[in-house]
């Protein structure tokens, strides 16, 4: 969920396009990038075809320690298996209540 206090940015004046940039992150942040990638895969079919094509092309242009061709990325996204979560993650309140009941 986005922070409601964060100002919204205006939509770009030009359509999105592949940029010659990459994302820099440390090992401690890799799990965040995986989560964002997983979220994108789960929402993939809701994206317009033109945006899907752009994201695949951008993914191929991003620098990474492992090479990946556009065809590999496209094959992955088209054949990714989506599974339901086994159970809902407990909320912080539920965890706090559980800890209190174990202490009693």
The average pLDDT across 40-50 equals: 95
What does the pLDDT look like over 59-84, one tens digit per residue? 999 998 899 999 999 999 989 988 88
Task: Please report the pLDDT score of residue 31 as a whole number.
Answer: 96
Residue 16 CA to residue 74 CA, distance in Å, equals 19
pTM: 0.67
What does the pLDDT look like over 6-36, one tens digit per residue? 776 776 678 899 999 999 999 999 999 999 9
Residue 88 CA to residue 71 CA, distance in Å, equals 35
Residue 97 CA to residue 8 CA, distance in Å, equals 36
Task: Please report the pLDDT score of residue 86 as a whole number.
Answer: 82
Residue 52 CA to residue 31 CA, distance in Å, equals 23
Residue 41 has pLDDT above 90, yes or no: yes
Band the pLDDT of 5: cuts 50, 70, 90: confident
Task: Please report the pLDDT score of residue 56 as a whole number.
Answer: 96
């Amino acid at each position: 969920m986005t922070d409601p206090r964060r100002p919204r940015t205006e939509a770009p004046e030009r359509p999105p396009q592949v940029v010659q940039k990459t994302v820099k992150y440390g090992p401690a942040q890799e799990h965040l990038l995986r989560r964002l990638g997983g979220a994108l895969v789960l929402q993939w079919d809701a994206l317009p075809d033109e945006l899907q094509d752009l994201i695949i092309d951008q993914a191929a242009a991003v620098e990474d320690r492992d090479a990946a061709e556009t065809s590999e990325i496209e094959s992955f996204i088209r054949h990714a298996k989506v599974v339901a979560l086994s159970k809902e993650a407990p909320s912080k309140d539920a965890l706090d209540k559980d800890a209190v009941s174990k202490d009693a």
